Structure 1
């Protein structure tokens, strides 16, 4: 299943394909955790013990597996106390699962729920932590739609420091790979076997900025960090390149002429 939504920054979508179909959220839900921290007034200087034990939404505890984490740095800090801002940065720039759960524990699930509500999300939520398998097995799922991911990033319009952090994403694959080198893009991607998603705010030099969200669930997604090992990452890059070619038609257009979705 491929879902695509394109929207001018600050306006309604001009193109959608399966925009309201739910997908497993993967790491895109980390944007909601980021916004929740900021809106609850969390101090980036606040000391946080780095532990690997978290309360499951199903009761009991769960832990992260370093083999499933794309960022080794927080794991070297286990047992230490570090500033919350360091964990927030690694959650976004290197998609650390361990840092995400530490940030989520600080922000709290109600604050994350409020982020989605304020964004106007209709089918997306992140009620559990990353790798909370007991909750997942009990039917508690993190879900997103492409349309809600666009709404989520739109809701950051007056929080420029959060968008600037998204611009520092170290994984320049997926949507970023479909853009000309040096193009400004604030984005978050997420993947595991069977799933590959990305949402980004693209800033062309020659026209107004636009939002693009692409969610893919299916056999093309290998779960590899790099595009060379994941056909789904290359698919997302081709979608991004196709939208880029039509970027001048996005702002103020009633609809894009034809689907900006290339053949696989």
Structure 2
């Protein structure tokens, strides 16, 4: 299943292309954008030194931990047993998609604040009610899921928070949407991957026309769950490249497109 939404970056702009925009996919690491927004909007002291641990409260009771084998970032694991700046962990959550850093950040906010981020964005179906690898919650039917339409709404909701978008520009995993753009093209984006799903949302800033937002979500056997060599990443790159070729029409007033 492939979902695609393309929209101008202009405030209140409606999408110019939608394909299965409301279909739900495993959120994977795209939910980390909502965690980041909840953390910053909640006034967390990003310069605070917090304990780096690997035990977290499950939303259904009990505790759980992350598996380093499923994490794409080794740095937070090297800090286990020490204290680290919350700012560093928030950055690694986005730039290197650290699962451990995500749960440490989530512990400094709460699920209600994350839900408020989605509500404020105008999300219609997406929700991320549990932490990364909270398998007891997943088995109890508590799922992190997103739609392409809601991912576009989420990025639009960050328009007045340039510091968050700047952090998204530093994403190190440039193998899907970013790979479909000409080298050096500015893009603020977050991707996610698990076996069976690959998805990404980003704000693309061409040099020759206004910016646009693109969300592509794929669920299916092509996604093998690898961070940089996932065959589904190449599918997303092809979609991104096709949208790039039409970039001049995205912000055209209705009826003025070619």
On whether the aligned pair clears a TM of 0.5, the verdict is yes
1:149 corresponding residue in structure 2: 151
2:237 corresponding residue in structure 1: 237
The whole-number CA distance in structure 1 between the counterparts of 2:125 and 2:257 is 27
Deviation at 1:253?
4.2
The whole-number CA distance in structure 2 between the counterparts of 1:96 and 1:242 is 30
Spell out structure 1 runs of 4+ moving beyond 6 A: 255-258
- Render the CA deviation track for 1:76-107: whole Å, top value 9, x for unaligned: 00010111000000000000000000001101
2:120 is aligned with 1:127: no
Deviation at 1:44?
1.2
Give the TM-score taking structure 2 as reference length.
Answer: 0.97
2:249 corresponding residue in structure 1: 249
The whole-number CA distance in structure 1 between the counterparts of 2:121 and 2:73 is 28
2:219 corresponding residue in structure 1: 217
Distance 1:203 1:86, change over 3 A: same
2:185 is aligned with 1:183: yes
The whole-number CA distance in structure 2 between the counterparts of 1:155 and 1:253 is 22
| Alignment counterpart, residue 118 of structure 2, candidates 116, 119, 133 | 116
Residue 36 of structure 2 aligns to a residue whose secondary structure is helix
Give 5+ residue unaligned stretches, structure 2. none
Deviation at 1:254?
3.5
- Render the CA deviation track for 1:1-46: whole Å, top value 9, x for unaligned: 0000000002111100000001110000000000001100111101
| Alignment counterpart, residue 192 of structure 1, candidates 191, 194, 210 | 194
Q: Is the 8 A contact 1:70 1:95 kept in 2?
A: yes
Moved more, 67-76 or 249-258: 249-258
Distance 1:91 1:255, change over 3 A: farther
2:29 is aligned with 1:23: no
The whole-number CA distance in structure 1 between the counterparts of 2:130 and 2:241 is 34
The whole-number CA distance in structure 2 between the counterparts of 1:255 and 1:138 is 49
| Alignment counterpart, residue 71 of structure 1, candidates 52, 70, 73 | 73
2:110 is aligned with 1:95: no
- Render the CA deviation track for 1:161-215: whole Å, top value 9, x for unaligned: 0000000001111100000000000000000111100000000000000000000
Give 5+ residue unaligned stretches, structure 1. 259-264
The whole-number CA distance in structure 1 between the counterparts of 2:8 and 2:51 is 41
1:2 corresponding residue in structure 2: 2
Distance 1:256 1:215, change over 3 A: farther
Deviation at 1:256?
11
Deviation at 1:109?
0.8
Q: Is the 8 A contact 1:94 1:171 kept in 2?
A: yes
- For these two proteins, the number of residue pairs brought into alignment is 256
Deviation at 1:252?
3.3
1:167 corresponding residue in structure 2: 169
Q: Is the 8 A contact 1:54 1:101 kept in 2?
A: yes
- Aligned alpha-carbon RMSD (Å): 1.3
- Render the CA deviation track for 1:123-173: whole Å, top value 9, x for unaligned: 001000000000000000001000000000000000000000000001111
1:104 corresponding residue in structure 2: 106
Q: Is the 8 A contact 1:15 1:255 kept in 2?
A: no
The whole-number CA distance in structure 1 between the counterparts of 2:58 and 2:109 is 15
